[in-house]
């Protein structure tokens, strides 16, 4: 009789363990899309921050080239993929606006930030 009760307890425990493994699989499948969405969002924001930093560095280089009397056509040929605008700003100043567009890969983030995402830097320099 004791062997019979122990075999029923063992059988019940095996069934419960199988159900727990199935429960873990269902929980994993439910969480996986959310995790992938968060991962893609972090990657996209990292790409945006990196591109903004690179654009700031390019802006510094472009301002230096303008100060050294490099033509805007030569600058645009060297820096392809970004838009460069020179505008008169007040009396002796020029405003340089540099724009770059970045593709967003995350499905919902492109609705929030817009696809492509616009990154812009501006500098005002003395026109000598």
What phi and psi values does residue 84 have, to the nearest 5 degrees?
-120, 125
Q: How does pLDDT run across 74-126, given as a tens digit for each residue?
A: 888 888 888 888 887 777 888 889 999 998 888 888 888 888 889 999 988 88
Cα-based angle 38, 121, 57 (whole degrees, multiple of 5): 85
Domain range holding 43? 2-126
Our count of domains for the chain comes to 1
Residue holding tokens 């492509």?
A: 116
Most confident of the ranges 4-8, 49-53, 63-67: 49-53
Q: Which residues make Cβ contacts (< 8 Å) with residue 20, sequence separation at least 6?
A: none
């Amino acid at each position: 009789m004791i062997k019979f009760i122990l075999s029923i307890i063992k059988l019940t425990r095996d069934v419960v363990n199988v159900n727990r493994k199935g429960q873990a699989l269902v929980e994993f499948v439910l969480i996986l899309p959310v995790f992938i969405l968060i991962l893609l969002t972090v990657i996209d924001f990292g790409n945006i921050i990196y591109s903004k930093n690179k654009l700031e560095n390019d802006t510094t280089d472009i301002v230096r080239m303008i100060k050294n009397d490099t033509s805007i056509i030569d600058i645009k040929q060297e820096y392809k993929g970004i838009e460069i605008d020179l505008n008169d700003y007040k009396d002796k100043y020029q405003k340089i606006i540099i724009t770059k567009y970045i593709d967003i890969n995350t499905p919902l983030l492109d609705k929030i930030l817009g696809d492509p995402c616009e990154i812009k830097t501006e500098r005002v320099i003395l026109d000598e």
